[in-house]
Chains A and B, each alone.
Chain A
Amino acid sequence: MSADTLHVRDLTVSYSGVPALSRVCLNVAPGEVLALLGPSGSGKSTLLHTIAGFHSPQAGEVWLNGRRVSSASRSEPPERRDLAMVFQNYALWPHLSALDTVAYPARRRGDGRNVARAQALVILERLNVGHLADRHPAELSGGEQQRVGLARALARRASLYLFDEPTAHLDSHVRGVFLAELVTRQRDTGAAAVYAAHDAEETLGLADRVALLAHGRVIQVGTPQQVYREPVNELAAKLTGPVSVLTSPGGSPRVLVRPEWASLDGDRDGRVVEVWFRGPHSDYVLVTDQGTLLVREPGPPRHERGAQLTWRLSHSWALRESTMTAEPSVSQLPSQTPSSVAVPE
């Protein structure tokens, strides 16, 4: 375990008696990006803030680079942990210019003002915001503010980066650009990262591994493909993208179907109740014998609402009804080969 950059063991945190995290375990290897995916209130921010040292845990431990930094009895202050953070609300200081904000970590390391500013300017220029160095946060757009926030984190030269939903307040067209920039810069440093988000699409693309969080517990950890194709339960499936749940008349296990696992024109009957044109593809909602099904096909819509048509299934994932308790769930073992289950007639 000491080889890992971050090791979180049985972490339990509660706010005035209300549990926020219960027995959370996670590992992040050097250079790895772990995404934390969960609905708001699932404990993502609490987990990041406990790793950063803003909160002390009631039980459990946090290890950074083989050194224990948090336990119920002892908590290292944030400034003595080898990590940097980018905040959801940017957290820029209104009285400091962009240049002094980015120079701040170097100043705290003990560098002189001029040295720290020179380093800060290099970082700002690398992020294409060198011309904004003299501006204060109020004079910057959201995207520019978050670039300054990222520059400040890079200036810390840490071995672990914490990203607390850094794109949550950005406009959608800035979001993609910023995200690409963030991942590139963080990978350049060779450091590990924990990235919290509630947007599955954004997260699956950038992470090496994904941890799904709900009600303060980790419900699944795996590669993006694993958590997408083999979710442990319905909640996990919904967290990682659009999904339909189909029942079978025989009472055998329900199955999960991703929109692209089904296609139109096949051996089963259905009726179109909704059609949405999404740009690159079109979504159809079908009413079938087994339940409501979402089908995604490339191109513009080919059918109108109310049309009777046929469809088929190329892949599905069997849902374990009594998750985590009775039988050992197949999907909880990420090494298991994906099992395709045919929908019962």
Chain B
Amino acid sequence: MAGARYLRGATLGVVTVAAVSVVLTPLLVMARTVWIEGGADVADILTARGLSSAVKNTFLLAVAVTVLAVPLGTALALALRRPNLPGRAFWRVVILLPVLVPDFVLGYSWLRAYGRAGFTDDLLGVHWPGVQTPVGVTVVVVVNAVPLVYLITAVGLAARSEPAMERAARVSGGTALSVLRTITLPLLGPATATAAVLVFVLTLGTFAIPQVMGSPAGFSTITTRIYSNLARSSDPLAFTEAVTLALLLVVIAVLVVAPADALLGPRLRVTRVATTDSTSVAGSRAGGRWAATGIACYSVLAMGLPLLALVATAITRAVGLAPTPENWTLDNFLAVLNARNGEALGRSVMLAAVAASVLVVLGGLVAALERSRSGRGLATLVSLTLVLPGSTLALGLLLAYGRWLGGTLAIILLAYIAKLWAFAHRPISGALDRLPPDELHAARISGAAPLTAMRTVVLRPLAPALLAAWLVCFLTALHEVTMSSLLYGPGSETLAVVVLNSAELGQVGVTSALSVVITLVLLIPALGFWIAIRGLNRGKASLSPVPPVPEPAHVG
């Protein structure tokens, strides 16, 4: 037993050092910087004219996105639960598609689809002038946030409002509508609130969509302002302003999360994944058809058309030409396939793979330690990184370690670890929760030492969760741009940064081709892992028929 205690102590030490160095130290260094160097300037910074509009924009964007995305995601989760919905399995996958498409690609594809000289302009002569305004930014951030709401609500539906609850209400005389009002929605309350808080906080930190869509038209948020301030690195006041803004972002996030966390308790941290599929009472067939039509329209307008426009732009010779076969070319792809981009792609994949592997180990360790009192505080700290905006983390790391690691891949790796730790921790922790404690007891009483018991009876049922955690971290790291764009230096730009820079230079065809490439790079491993996880789950269908739900992580 002494060995076990030593092992536990060592693990706790390693995890604590990691958490302190990648999360706590950067935040403290930032606070100190603002305190000492900002000094009297802080008041001036916060009242600067352009700045207050950025703060206001950020806040309004977060409110608008929350108000729109939560009802939309909830409605989708409710509709996709109808057993008689035509093509239900297909739509369930389609709704989650934005998880696999990087947010800057989604934003860019909307510009290509609905903007001036875009897809609908070329084909039908109509374009939406609002796409590059705050309204357009809001709509695309909503589309990006809907899968998160959908996932949390669907899990909530499966876990809390099991079908029996609604059947009991129907057989007590409630109509479909009154049961929704009196039973389903009240039961769904905590899940909806969780989704709202997460969407609000993640929207505060969202960077790529406002940057790609809004900044050409002069719409700035706190995150885009931090980015442009760092670009003017010669100006010391700009840097102080960026650090102040980054801390302000954290303050707003904490002001929202703290009361919500107190009210909702651990629900914010642990989203339980139910093992049963929840289907509602069979409704009318016409209702199912209407719901399917609505979902189809949404999917086509929000994702189908934009992605199609992106591909069309990538294979069309020049902007403004109709995307018809006689104008098709592979020139854009050939221009993209050069050694520089190849290196960037290699770096991205390597960084993402290393980050994901480290994160699965760290996430697993925290999940294991969480079961004892000493590890619980650590788990809370790790979970809080979920709401820490990427811009803040990146600036903090730059301040703390920039002297030695600035512009290297190492500092980007640290940033990924800090930002994605919670994403690795949550699926593993959830899977551990669902593991019947008796299985471990049975192994111990059959003569297995703690580590042997872990290896022989815990690791195998945990495999799908570990793989899912790895996949979520890998994909998120691969399309991470908020932190990478602040931290990269010569020779350490990732593919996502290359795409972002190309978009800013206005290279439409090349950017589209790069966007298609980075999306494919994401889709292929995602598909492979999805099949692998399904295979693993089939092997032990008794435990959990669904893989732990991967969180869409790309909003921050």
Question: What's the least CB distance linking A176 to chain B, in Å?
Answer: 25
By beta carbon, the residue of chain A nearest B172 is A105
Q: How far is the CA of A246 from the CA of B274 in the complex (A)?
A: 49
Q: How far is the CA of A152 from the CA of B164 in the complex (A)?
A: 14
Cβ-based interface call for B174 (8 A): yes
Question: What's the least CB distance linking A52 to chain B, in Å?
Answer: 5
Cβ-based interface call for B175 (8 A): yes
Given contacts A78-B281, A108-B178, are A91 and B164 in contact (CB under 8 A)? yes
Q: How far is the CA of A79 from the CA of B164 in the complex (A)?
A: 14
Cβ-based interface call for B342 (8 A): no
Q: How far is the CA of A104 from the CA of B178 in the complex (A)?
A: 11
Q: How far is the CA of A56 from the CA of B82 in the complex (A)?
A: 13
Question: What's the least CB distance linking A196 to chain B, in Å?
Answer: 15
Say whether B172 contacts A55, CB under 8 Å: no
Q: How far is the CA of A256 from the CA of B553 in the complex (A)?
A: 66
Given contacts A105-B173, A156-B173, are A93 and B282 in contact (CB under 8 A)? no
Given contacts A108-B172, A108-B178, are A91 and B282 in contact (CB under 8 A)? no
Q: How far is the CA of A149 from the CA of B160 in the complex (A)?
A: 18
Q: Which of B163, B167, B187 contacts A78 (CB 8 A)?
A: B167
For chain A, the bracket of interface size reads 20 to 34
Question: What's the least CB distance linking B227 to chain A, in Å?
Answer: 45
Say whether A54 contacts B169, CB under 8 Å: no
Q: Which residues of B contact A166 (CB under 8 A)?
A: none
Say whether B164 contacts A104, CB under 8 Å: no
Say whether B167 contacts A79, CB under 8 Å: no
Identify which of A53, A54, A95, A105 gathers the most chain B CB atoms within 10 Å of its CB.
A54
Say whether B167 contacts A52, CB under 8 Å: yes
Q: How far is the CA of A14 from the CA of B314 in the complex (A)?
A: 48
By beta carbon, the residue of chain B nearest A106 is B173
Say whether A89 contacts B164, CB under 8 Å: yes
Say whether B183 contacts A78, CB under 8 Å: no
Question: What's the least CB distance linking A186 to chain B, in Å?
Answer: 15
Cβ-based interface call for A84 (8 A): yes
Question: What's the least CB distance linking A295 to chain B, in Å?
Answer: 39
Q: Which of A78-106 contact B (CB under 8 A)?
A: 78-79, 81, 83-85, 87, 89, 91-95, 104-105
Q: Which of A93, A105, A155, A156 contacts B183 (CB 8 A)?
A: A93
Cβ-based interface call for B531 (8 A): no
Q: Which residues of A contact B175 (CB under 8 A)?
A: 77, 79, 108
Say whether A93 contacts B171, CB under 8 Å: no
Say whether B174 contacts A55, CB under 8 Å: no
Cβ-based interface call for A75 (8 A): yes
Q: How far is the CA of A105 from the CA of B160 in the complex (A)?
A: 21
Cβ-based interface call for A173 (8 A): no
Say whether B170 contacts A94, CB under 8 Å: no
Number of A-B residue pairs at CB separation under 8 A: 75
Say whether A87 contacts B168, CB under 8 Å: yes
Q: Which of B141-189 contact A (CB under 8 A)?
A: 160, 163-165, 167-176, 178, 182-183, 186-187, 189
Q: Which of B171, B176, B187 contacts A85 (CB 8 A)?
A: B171
Q: Which residues of A contact B174 (CB under 8 A)?
A: 79, 104, 108
Q: Which of B165, B176, B186, B189 contacts A91 (CB 8 A)?
A: B165
Q: Which of A55-80 contact B (CB under 8 A)?
A: 55-56, 75, 77-79
Q: Which residues of B contact A84 (CB under 8 A)?
A: 171-172
Q: Which of A55, A56, A81, A93 contacts B169 (CB 8 A)?
A: A93
Interface of B is mostly: helix
Q: How far is the CA of A338 from the CA of B1 in the complex (A)?
A: 70
Cβ-based interface call for A131 (8 A): no
Given contacts A93-B183, A95-B186, A152-B168, are A109 and B173 in contact (CB under 8 A)? yes
Q: How far is the CA of A89 from the CA of B186 in the complex (A)?
A: 20
Q: Which of A53, A56, A93 contacts B168 (CB 8 A)?
A: A93
Say whether B170 contacts A93, CB under 8 Å: no
Identify which of B163, B170, B172, B189 gathers the most chain A CB atoms within 10 Å of its CB.
B172
Q: How far is the CA of A79 from the CA of B169 in the complex (A)?
A: 8
Q: Which of A138-168 contact B (CB under 8 A)?
A: 149, 152, 155-156, 162
Say whether B172 contacts A156, CB under 8 Å: yes
Say whether A75 contacts B168, CB under 8 Å: no
Q: Which residues of A contact B189 (CB under 8 A)?
A: 95
By beta carbon, the residue of chain A nearest B168 is A91
By beta carbon, the residue of chain A nearest B163 is A54
Say whether A77 contacts B170, CB under 8 Å: yes
Say whether B187 contacts A54, CB under 8 Å: no
Say whether B167 contacts A54, CB under 8 Å: yes
Identify which of A52, A79, A85, A92 gathers the most chain B CB atoms within 10 Å of its CB.
A79
By beta carbon, the residue of chain A nearest B283 is A77
Q: How far is the CA of A49 from the CA of B178 in the complex (A)?
A: 20
Q: How far is the CA of A84 from the CA of B165 in the complex (A)?
A: 14
Q: Which residues of A contact B183 (CB under 8 A)?
A: 93
| Contact bitstring A162-186, B, C-beta under 8 A = 1, else 0 | 1000000000000000000000000
Q: Which residues of B contact A54 (CB under 8 A)?
A: 163, 167, 170, 281-282
Question: What's the least CB distance linking A96 to chain B, in Å?
Answer: 8
Say whether A78 contacts B165, CB under 8 Å: no
Say whether B172 contacts A87, CB under 8 Å: no
Q: Which of A52, A87, A108 contacts B173 (CB 8 A)?
A: A108
By beta carbon, the residue of chain A nearest B189 is A95
Identify which of B168, B178, B182 gathers the most chain A CB atoms within 10 Å of its CB.
B168
Q: Which residues of B contact A52 (CB under 8 A)?
A: 167, 171
Q: How far is the CA of A149 from the CA of B282 in the complex (A)?
A: 23
Q: How far is the CA of A336 from the CA of B167 in the complex (A)?
A: 42
Q: Which residues of B contact A49 (CB under 8 A)?
A: 167
Given contacts A95-B186, A105-B172, A109-B173, are A77 and B281 in contact (CB under 8 A)? yes
Q: How far is the CA of A310 from the CA of B172 in the complex (A)?
A: 59
Q: Which residues of A contact B182 (CB under 8 A)?
A: 104
Say whether A56 contacts B164, CB under 8 Å: no
| Contact bitstring A301-325, B, C-beta under 8 A = 1, else 0 | 0000000000000000000000000
Q: Which residues of B contact A94 (CB under 8 A)?
A: 160, 187
Q: How far is the CA of A302 from the CA of B470 in the complex (A)?
A: 67
User: What is the interface of chain B, defined by CB distance below 8 A to chain A?
Assistant: 160, 163-165, 167-176, 178, 182-183, 186-187, 189, 281-282
Q: A77-B170, A78-B170, A79-B172 are in contact. List 5 more A-B contacts (CB 8 A).
A: A52-B167, A91-B164, A91-B167, A94-B187, A104-B182
| Nearest 5 A/B pairs, CB to CB | A108-B173, A78-B170, A91-B168, A91-B164, A105-B172
User: What is the interface of chain A, defined by CB distance below 8 A to chain B?
Assistant: 49, 52-56, 75, 77-79, 81, 83-85, 87, 89, 91-95, 104-105, 108-109, 149, 152, 155-156, 162
10 A–B contacts from the bound complex (CB under 8 Å): A52-B171, A54-B281, A54-B282, A84-B171, A85-B168, A85-B171, A93-B183, A95-B189, A104-B182, A156-B172
